[in-house]
């Protein structure tokens, strides 16, 4: 299914890590000009993205309707992480090392444009930034500077180049556009047992990170 390839590609493009403790929840909307993909998007209703960061650790949970759920846990101090996928492809997990971004991203070319436009999201004034990539992908960010969020990462193209916290962002690819709009923001995390564990849970089939990447054709 085309939708599987597009979603798994997105999983490897976007990740979160902030030095500030916070909880974020986004609602996800999707649309496509491709009739085959658009017909599949009904399964994606109610999709959400939740982000929890604390003490240089993060947990990102993306629920893609009834199709797939992915969880990514990162520990920036240990420079390690785990990716868990649960859905039509079964329960699979992989561990990985968090390599230096600067070395890995030297081959990626992109352009960031800060635009003089604003809009209100969750009561915060947000500014606009547009990122143009060499992979025919355009990313639009609406970010607020109301919070002291440092060392933030929202995917390989952003790093410290967007000077604030994104309360809405869109990923525009040739076949589909995904828009994430924040519906909840807290400067605290209600931590539960095992929330930031880097072990693959029982019931998941362990694979290499390269095997899971291969599912998206990367």
pTM of structure: 0.82
Residue 107's SS3 state is helix
Polymer length of the chain: 218
Share of the chain above pLDDT 90, in %: 31
* Torsional sign, CA 151, 157, 161, 167: negative
Q: How far apart are CA 2 and CA 71, in angstroms?
A: 21
- pLDDT higher than 60, residue 101: no
How do residues 153-209 score in pLDDT, each as one tens digit?
444 445 456 778 889 988 887 788 889 999 999 989 999 999 999 999 999 999 998
- What torsion, rounded to 10 degrees, do the Cα atoms 31, 37, 41, 42 define? 120
Q: Which residue, 172, 152, 171, is CA-closest to 162?
A: 152
Q: How far apart are CA 142 and CA 169, in angstroms?
A: 6
Nearest C-alpha neighbor of 83 from the set 207, 187, 218: 207
Candidate from 64-73, 174-183, 208-217 with smallest mean pLDDT: 208-217
In the chain, which residue ranges form alpha helices assigned H by DSSP?
A: 2-13, 35-40, 101-104, 209-214
Instruction: Give, in order, the Cα–Cα distances in Å from 150 to each of 4, 84, 109, 160, 174.
Output: 33, 27, 23, 8, 32
Q: Are 149 and 162 in contact (CB under 8 A)?
A: no
Question: 131 near 112, Cβ under 8 Å?
Answer: yes
Q: For position 218, what pLDDT does the model report? A: 45
Q: 110-143 pLDDT, tens per residue?
A: 788 999 999 999 999 999 999 887 767 788 989 9
Structure tokens at 72: 């990514």
pLDDT score of 106 more than 90: no
Q: Which pLDDT value is given to residue 151? A: 44
Q: Please give the Cα distance from 180 to 170 (Å, whole number).
A: 6
Residue 187 tokens read as: 């400067």
């Amino acid at each position: 299914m085309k939708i599987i390839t597009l979603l798994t590609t997105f999983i490897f493009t976007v990740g979160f890590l902030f030095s500030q403790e916070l909880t974020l929840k986004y609602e996800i909307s999707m649309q496509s000009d491709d009739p085959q993909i658009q017909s599949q998007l009904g399964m994606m209703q109610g999709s959400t993205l939740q982000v929890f960061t604390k003490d240089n650790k993060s947990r990102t949970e993306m629920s893609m309707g009834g199709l797939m759920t992915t969880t990514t846990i990162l520990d920036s101090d240990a420079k390690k992480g785990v990716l868990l996928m649960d859905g039509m492809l079964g329960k699979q997990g992989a561990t990985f090392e968090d390599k230096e971004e600067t070395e890995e991203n030297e081959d990626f070319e992109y352009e960031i444009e800060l635009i003089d436009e604003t809009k209100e999201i969750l009561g915060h004034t947000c500014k606009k930034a547009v990122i143009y990539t060499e992979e025919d992908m355009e990313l639009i960010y609406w970010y607020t500077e109301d919070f002291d969020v440092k060392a933030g990462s929202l995917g390989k193209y952003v790093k410290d180049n967007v000077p604030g916290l994104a309360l809405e962002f869109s990923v525009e690819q040739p076949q589909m556009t995904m828009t994430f709009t924040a519906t909840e923001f807290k400067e605290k995390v209600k931590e539960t047992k095992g929330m930031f564990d880097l072990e693959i849970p029982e019931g998941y089939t362990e694979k290499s990170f390269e095997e899971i990447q291969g599912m998206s054709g990367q």
